[in-house]
Amino acid sequence: MNSSKTIGMVVKIAFYALIAYFLPVLALVFLVFGIIDVARHKNINGALLKSYFLGNGVLTWLLTPFNLFTDLISSGRNPVMWRPEDFSGEHRKEIDDLLKAFDDNKETIISEIGKQMEGKKRGMVFFKWYDKPGDESIADFNREWKYIKTIGVSVFNAKEATRLHYGPVRVTVRLLYNLNPRKSDDIFLEVDGVKYHWHDDPLIIFDDTVNHRSINGEDWQRFVAFVDVLRPSRFTALQDALVGVVAAFQKVNGIFYTNWTQMKLKGKPAGGAA
C-alpha cells in the first residue's frame, strides 16, 4: 500500500472513531446497516470488508438507509443476479422493446462511437440519464419510458478494465447488453467473485451495489448497452421520486464516470466530460 492510501485509511479510521465516540447510536445504526448490506455478498472476505468500509464502497455504505428503504418497497425477491422473467407485464415489455431498439441500431452505434475511440481508454454515451434526456440522435430511445431510467452505451478499448467497485444506489438494477459479443474467456463481467462471459449470454442484469468489475482482455473494442431499470414494485410513483433524488445529487453524470470520456454519438462535444 502506498503512503497516500495509508494516510487516507488512517484518516477514515480516525473519523469513524470520532463518530463512534461523539455519536455512538448513529455509529451503531450505520454499522448494523452496513453489515446487513455487505452480507448480501456470498464471497465475503477481508479484502471485501476493507473495500466496503474503508475503500470505494464507503459511499454505498453511507447510502444504506436509502437502499434498505428501496428494498422494503420493492416487490418479491431481492437477488443479486436478475433474469428478464423476473419482470412482468409492461415492465418486461419495455425491456424487450429497448433490447430490440439496441439491436436495430447497434451497427450505427458501433460505427459512430468506434470512430471516436482512438487514443481513449473508455467511452460513454448517455441517451437518457435518470429520466433526463441526453443524446437524442437515435429516435428509438426518445420515447417515454416508465421503467427505463438510464440508457447509454459503454465502450472499452483494447485491454481495458475497471477495478472492483460498488454502485451507490439500488432503486434500479443495472442491465448490460453486449452489442458485439466475442467468444473469449478474457472478456467478462465479474459480480461478487463470479465471472459472467458475454459469449455465454450477451444480456446480464444485476444489482450493481454488489462488488463488481468489467474486463476486456482482448485487442477488441467492447460495446455494451448500459441501462438502469426500476426494480419491480407496487410503489412506482415513490420509486420515481427516489430516482429524482438520485438525479438531483448526480446532476453531472461525469461525477461517477471520471475514467470515461463522455461523448455524443455523432462526435459532438458532450457536457460533463471527464
Here the contacts of 91-99 (C-beta below 8 Å, separation 24 or greater) are 91/147, 91/229, 91/230, 91/232, 94/145, 94/146, 94/147, 94/148, 94/229, 95/147, 95/148, 95/175, 95/229, 98/141, 98/145, 98/148, 98/151, 98/225, 98/227, 99/177, 99/203, 99/225
Residue 248: per-residue pLDDT: 84
> Per-residue pLDDT tens for 91-145?
999 999 999 999 999 999 999 999 999 999 999 999 999 999 999 999 999 999 9
Q: Tell me how far apart the alpha carbons of residues 32 and 94 are, in angstroms, rounded to a whole number.
A: 37
CA distance 121 to 240: 33
Query: Is a pLDDT exceeding 50 seen at residue 271?
Result: no
Structural domains of the chain, with CATH? 3-73 (no CATH), 81-262 (2.60.120.330)
Summarize pLDDT for 29-73 with one digit per residue, the tens.
999 999 999 999 999 999 999 999 999 999 999 999 999 999 999
Q: Is the pLDDT of residue 268 over 60?
A: no
- What is the grid cell recorded at 210? 454488489
Q: Is the pLDDT of residue 274 over 50?
A: no
